[in-house]
Amino acid sequence: MELGYACICTTLQKQKITTNRGMIKKTFMSKGLDYASELSLLNVQDLEKVIQWNIDNDIKVFRITSNLFPWMSEYELTSLKDWSIIQKIFKRIGKKVLDSKMRVGFHPGPFNILCSPKKEVVDKTIKELDQHSFILDTMGLPISNKYKVNIHIGGAYGDKHSAMDRWIENFQLLSNSTKKRLTLENDDKPNMYNVQDLLYIHEKTNTSIVFDFHHYDCNPGNLSKKESLELALCTWGDVKPMTHFSSSRKKYEDSSCKVVAHADYLYDEIPTFGYDFDVVVEAKAKEQAVIHYLEKYH
């Protein structure tokens, strides 16, 4: 089992090394593509430093921020003025990832909804997901859910089953790379999707399920934790499964918080039930939470 963290290395962030420089709409409108290219280049240069930090600190799992390219649904990455430099850096990053046996992936935002009844929403989602997988392709990472693009279904519209059928239909419109990289995560709300629901989609599209332990606790459905985990693990074929783990802030740090809020650190041991899988730790202290966990439980 390898553990990792999401998007931000707080140690490097203190040295102003950051991969999510962005801009508001007004700035994008006035400064345009050239400024987007400049921010993207800075982000990608710093991403290489974060990847190197992970290697130096023996962290083998890392989620890359979706803010690497500001406003990327509005243009093609290859049209950026700095693309050829960015492309070279991506190739170096990909080599570092493969040489160190690191596992990287994306988790695009909640606005990516493949089952929306609105065509514009679906079109924009497809573009954005394909951009994410194109970045992983550019890094030279194998087209597999080992290097994943993970999302939630995103909408139920009071009728999960017709929404899931729409999702499966729209799945066919994704690029070949996205189809192989896309994974689905169980939701934390009772009216949204649990592992059993997602299994229906897996059967039709072979999409793997990322089991989120905290979301399971918020929305268990009818199955036990062990049963749900097992079902999710079975959807990964030859690839080592990926999961998400976090502790409830409400339970351990601040009782006034909502149940779904993430704590700074982990306060429970990850229940493996004897299985081997990788874990993205979702904790506010980021890489420090991983380091603390490993000191505490290993």
Catalog residues that contact DNA under the rule CB under 7 A.
6-8, 13, 18, 20-27, 65-67, 70-74, 107-111, 113, 116-118, 120-121, 128, 152, 154-158, 189-192, 258, 260-262, 282, 284
Report the residue number, 31 or 88, with the smaller CB distance to DNA: 31
How far apart are alpha carbons 209 and 186 in whole angstroms? 8
3-state secondary structure of 62: strand
CB of 238 to DNA, least distance (A): 26
Closest CB to DNA among residues 95, 258: 258
Is residue 110 within 8 Å of 152, Cβ to Cβ?
yes
Least Å distance, CB 8 to DNA, is 5
- Angle, helices 195-205 vs 160-171, to 10°: value is 30
CB of 95 to DNA, least distance (A): 26
Q: For DNA, which is the closer residue by CB, 98 or 278?
A: 278
**Which are the contacts of 71, defined by CB distance < 8 A and separation ≥ 6?**
23, 28, 36
State the minimum distance, in angstroms, from the CB of residue 163 to DNA: 7
Q: Residue 82 or 92: which CB sits closer to DNA?
A: 82
Kindly state the smallest distance separating residue 274's Cβ from DNA, in Å: 27
DSSP H helices, the chain, are 10-13, 25-56, 83-99, 119-138, 160-171, 176-181, 195-205, 213-218, 225-233, 249-252, 287-297
User: At its nearest, how many Å lie between DNA and the CB of residue 25?
Assistant: 2
CA 273 to chain centre: 24
Instruction: Compute the least distance from the CB of residue 249 to DNA, in Å.
Output: 9
In whole angstroms, give the CA distance from residue 158 to residue 294: 42
Residue 174 is which amino acid?
L
Give SS3 for 104. strand
Contact yes or no for 145/104 (Cβ under 8 A)? no
Q: Which is nearer to DNA, 12 or 199 (CB)?
A: 12
Question: Closest CB to DNA among 10 and 176?
Answer: 10
* Three-state SS at 188: coil
Calpha distance 199→27 (Å, rounded): 43
Q: Which is nearer to DNA, 158 or 274 (CB)?
A: 158
